[in-house]
Amino acid sequence: MAKQIIFSGTQPLPAIGQGTWYMGEKSAQYVEEVNALRAGIDLGLTLIDTAEMYANGGAEKVVGEAISGRRDEVYLVSKVYPWNAAGPSAIQACEQSLKRLKTDYLDLYLLHWRGDIALEDTVSVMQQLVQQGKIRRWGVSNLDYADMQELWRVTGGRECATNQVLYHLASRGIEHDLLPWCQQQKMPVMAYCPLAQAGRLRSGLMNHPVLNDLAQQKGVTVAQLLLAWVIHHEGVVAIPKAGSVAHVKENALALEITLKQEEITLMEKAFPAPGRKTPLDMV
């Protein structure tokens, strides 16, 4: 059976969702992106992650079109800019996201990264949005261990449902303290850029001889291998972007891959964790 994560206390979701960063930027790709998301829903990748930042709301419009008539099938996540994360600005930002998504509620609303607004004020407005029925739960993104400790001291802060952070085989810094702590709290971690977004790191992963050999032995792609590695960790959901139906199908099949301990060891030897506290990777 495909791996599932329990979200928000009760809701089991597949350990691979759908990311939408860079969607909605080119009108020529709109139909393909909508079709890709719909194909993902058909394949059971029902968690969809987006943000007001992505293409200035363009990605949310793509998602809105993709889930039209299927809202009850998906677990919908969006994110608010840090400068919109309190008071009337947060209410307005959330309402604008809902409008673009063509829905009246979000399953999960995240603080996109930490800015100058006090965590107390963000928690307060998130609670208000829950009371208004605009969001079901709230969480954070790009918060490191010390930030999470601070959030835990805020009244209502422990209602945080997730922390979404960058995590892939070549970026393992969260394993030092953040990931074990989240696991201890039974708080799912959403891994963005699970295949590395671009540039040298992605190239280093996709072209690595150890990974290529292992993928070949298992009859899978390197991308599927990398996704399987991310989600073998307890409580971790991967949210790769997939702008085409072919990529979505490839991602969905990664749910069925089982990694043996010796295979995990081989992969981690090729890309070791830093072994000390490092700053949180962000893009």
Task: Tell me the catalytic residues.
Answer: 54
Check residue 176 and report its DSSP letter. T
End-to-end CA distance of the chain: give it in Å, rounded.
33
In this structure, are residues 157 and 123 in contact, taking their beta carbons and an 8 Å threshold?
Answer: yes
241 exposure class (CB count in 10 Å sphere: 0-12, 13-18, 19+): buried
Number of C-alpha atoms within 13 angstroms, CB side, residue 35? Answer: 9
**52: CB partners within 8 A, 6+ apart:** 60, 78, 79, 80, 81, 84, 93, 96, 97, 112
Max Cα–Cα distance, the chain, nearest Å: 55
Q: Cβ contacts of residue 100 below 8 Å, gap of 6+?
A: 57, 60, 61, 64
3-state SS, residue 165? strand
Number of other CB atoms surrounding residue 221 within 10 Å? 17
Question: Residue 43: CB partners within 8 Å, gap ≥ 6?
Answer: 248, 249, 252
